[in-house]
Amino acid sequence: MHPPGRRLLTSGRPFLTGARSASSRILSTERTREALAFAGLYELWRDDSLPDDHERAWLWTAAIITTQATDDVGQIHDRMPMVIKPEHWADWLDPANTEPGQIHAAMLPAMAGGLTSHPVSMAVNTVRNNGPELIKPLESADGSGEASAGGERPPG
């Protein structure tokens, strides 16, 4: 188990996941429009070659925990970020919570049906591109937006 106090939550709505096909990317958001919080871990690393007061004496690193994708995302990619539901945020972040059973209970995968997805422009893959147009659904050949992973249209 990771040291107490080294757990974090990071915001993730919407999030981008690579599709199994190299020709598209899928943007997924929660259908309920609630905030998504992904479980993560962080660590501090001391660079002993630098003096204590040096601005780079400590390096902060973080990782997002992934899990097997739910059916909603599983047809796109086999892994997804571990979503922590709001009612478990305090348990996940509590450094005094060192009970493995309680920590694992907070790490239940997202419920099937909670996510929706749609293809977005490949322009999203270039870091110099920025703007809200990057997350707009691609139009299908008939001029309508693409259906979501569950066969429904994306909300909004």
In the chain, the number of structural domains is 1
Domain of residue 59, residue span: 7-135
Query: Per-residue pLDDT tens for 87-146?
Result: 899 999 999 988 888 888 888 766 666 677 778 888 888 889 888 888 888 876 555 444
pTM of this prediction exceeds 0.85: no
Query: Per-residue pLDDT tens for 17-74?
Result: 666 555 556 656 666 666 788 899 999 999 999 998 999 999 999 999 988 877 666 6
**Residue 140, pLDDT score:** 60
Query: Per-residue pLDDT tens for 69-95?
Result: 776 666 677 788 888 888 899 999 999
- Helix, strand, coil proportions of the chain in percent (round to 5)? 15, 30, 55
Position 149 in a domain: no
Q: What is the CATH number of the domain that holds 117?
A: 3.90.1680.10
Position 154 in a domain: no
**Residue 57, pLDDT score:** 94
**Residue 152, pLDDT score:** 37
Helices (H) and strands (E) counted in the chain, each on its own, are: 3, 8
Residue 106 near residue 87 (C-beta atoms within 8 A): no
Position 141 in a domain: no
Position 13 in a domain: yes
